[in-house]
Amino acid sequence: MRALALSVAAALLLVACSDPREAELAQEIAALKEARVPKTSYDQLLAEVAAGEAALGDAGPQLDALRAQIEETQAGAGRLEAELQAEVARNTRLNQEIQESTQRVNDALARQADLEQQIAIAQARAQTFKDQAAALSRELRPDDPDWARRLHIQTLREFLGDVARTWPGDPVLSAAARSALPTDEHEATRVGAELAARIRDRVGEVYGLGAEAGAAATPNVAAPPPAS
């Protein structure tokens, strides 16, 4: 009886375990078995992973060396950039100094040109005085006729006044211009000729106008004025 009961129970258990999805599950299990990676492939994959990790381990020092080189290169680039900026600033300062120096040179040249013009004007004026003094030193002659002596003495007085106003600070010219002429016309022409010669020589000396050519030549007697 007991054996029969067990047989019935087993039959009932088989009936109870039968499931409509049993076939589907069997198909999925079969598919998984077909897709299962063979053990040799899995072992090969593990070996490749281990080799990759070993390669990464070996590349570590190389990567560290490359990082050090990169840092050194960056530091060098920073130094070069700083040097470049310093050179740019230096060139800027040099250009500014060159511009300022050029401006100073131009200003100096302008002042020099102005001074040269003033000197030329002063020399031209001094040459006029020198020529007039030289002419008076030749024309003031005691042996000239009375009218010529009076005319030349009057011209000399006017000339001495111009010299006194033009060179009040020159001791030689100022003293000559303020010298009193004798009342005697003969003596006045002689003294006047000496004063004119002194003024001529002093003006030539101060302005570098050179010696008067023919200053020592013997003058001719003045001709009388034309009849009116």
What tens digit of pLDDT does each residue of 173-210 get? Answer: 999 999 999 999 999 999 999 999 999 999 999 988 87
Q: CB atoms < 10 A from the CB of 176, how many?
A: 21
CB of 170 closer than 8 Å to CB of 134:
no
What tens digit of pLDDT does each residue of 25-39 get? Answer: 777 777 766 666 566
CB of 136 closer than 8 Å to CB of 120:
no
What tens digit of pLDDT does each residue of 155-165 get? Answer: 999 999 999 99
Instruction: Examine the pLDDT at 214 and tell me if it is beyond 70.
Output: no
- Among 144, 226, 227, 150, which residue's Cα sits nearest to residue 185? 150
Task: Specify the residue for token string 């005691």.
Answer: 142
- The helix/strand count (H/E) of the chain reads as 6, 0
**What's the rounded Cα separation, in Å, for the pair 168 and 47?**
118
Domain ranges of the chain: 119-207
Rounded to whole angstroms, what are the CA distances from 32 to 23, 27, 36, 57, 193?
Answer: 14, 9, 6, 36, 146
CB of 166 closer than 8 Å to CB of 129:
yes
CB of 123 closer than 8 Å to CB of 204:
no
Pick 109 or 53 by higher pLDDT: 109
What tens digit of pLDDT does each residue of 125-173 get? Answer: 989 999 999 999 999 999 989 999 999 999 999 999 999 999 999 999 9
